[in-house]
C-alpha cells in the first residue's frame, strides 16, 4: 500500500471531483451561451437590374456596406468594412477613411495609412439569369 492516508485520499478525491464538475459546468455554460437564435447574417444582396449601373459608375451600397464599381473590365465591389476593427469607412475625395481609428484606403482599397494592415476586401459580383446584380459578402 502507498503512504496515502485515508484522510488525504478523501481530500484528493473530493478536490478532483469538484474540479471535474466545475470544468464540466463551465464547458456546459459556454455551450449554452454559444447557441445562436438568429439566422446568420445575409451574405447575398440583390442590387437590382445591372443596367442601372452603367460603365464608369461608382455607387455606394450602404446596407452591405459596399462600393460598387463598373469599369471597362466589368463589375467589381469593395467591402466598406474597415479591416482593422470593423467600422464602416467613409468616402472622402476618392479615398476611404475610417472614422473610428483613422485608417485610410485609396480608391482601390489599398491601405494608405494604418492602423489597418489589410486592404479593403474585394467582394464577388455576378449577374443572375434575370439580369440582376448579385453581391456576395462571403
Partner 1 sequence: MRPSFFHHLHPPTIPAKQSRWRYTLGAGGMAVFLLLVLGATGILELFYYIPTPDQAARSIQTISYLVPFGGLVRNIHFWAAQLLLIVSAVHLVRVVFTGSYAPPRRFNYLLGLALFIFAILLDFTGYVLRWDQGIQWALVVGTNLIKTIPLIGNLLYIVLTGGTQPGLPTLIRFYAWHIFGLTLGAVILGVWHIFRVRRDGGIAVPPPPLRVDKERITRKELARREVLAMLMTGAALILFAAFIPAPIAQPISDINVMAGDAKAPWFFLWVQQMLKWGDPFTWGVFVPLIVLAVLALIPYIFPKPADSELGKWFPRSNRSAQIILAVIALLIIVLTIFGSLPAS
Residue 120 buriedness (CB in 10 A; 0-12 / 13-18 / 19+):
buried
Could you tell me the smallest distance in angstroms from the CB atom of residue 132 to partner 1?
21
Could you tell me the smallest distance in angstroms from the CB atom of residue 76 to partner 1?
20
Q: Is 101 in the site for partner 1 (CB under 8 A)?
A: yes
Q: Could you give the CA distance from residue 7 to residue 4 in angstroms, rounded to a whole number?
A: 8
- Strand, coil or helix: what is 6? helix
| Chain residues 2-41 in contact with partner 1, contact rule CB under 8 A | 30, 33-38, 40-41
Number of residues that bind partner 1 (CB under 8 A): 27
Cβ atoms 89, 98 nearer than 8 A? yes
Residue among 58, 65, 76, 111 that touches partner 1 (CB under 8 A): 65
Amino acid at each position: 500500500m502507498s503512504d496515502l492516508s485515508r484522510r488525504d485520499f478523501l481530500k484528493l478525491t473530493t478536490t478532483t471531483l469538484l474540479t471535474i464538475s466545475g470544468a464540466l459546468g463551465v464547458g456546459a455554460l459556454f455551450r449554452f451561451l454559444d447557441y445562436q437564435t438568429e439566422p446568420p447574417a445575409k451574405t447575398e444582396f440583390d442590387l437590382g437590374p445591372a443596367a442601372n449601373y452603367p460603365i464608369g459608375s461608382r455607387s455606394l451600397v450602404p446596407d452591405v456596406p459596399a462600393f460598387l464599381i463598373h469599369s471597362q473590365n466589368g463589375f467589381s465591389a469593395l467591402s466598406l468594412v474597415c479591416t482593422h476593427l470593423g467600422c464602416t469607412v467613409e468616402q472622402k475625395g476618392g479615398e476611404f477613411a475610417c472614422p473610428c481609428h483613422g485608417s485610410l484606403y485609396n480608391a482601390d482599397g489599398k491601405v494608405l495609412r494604418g492602423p489597418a494592415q489589410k486592404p479593403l476586401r474585394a467582394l464577388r459580383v455576378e449577374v443572375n439569369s434575370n439580369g440582376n446584380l448579385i453581391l456576395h459578402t462571403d
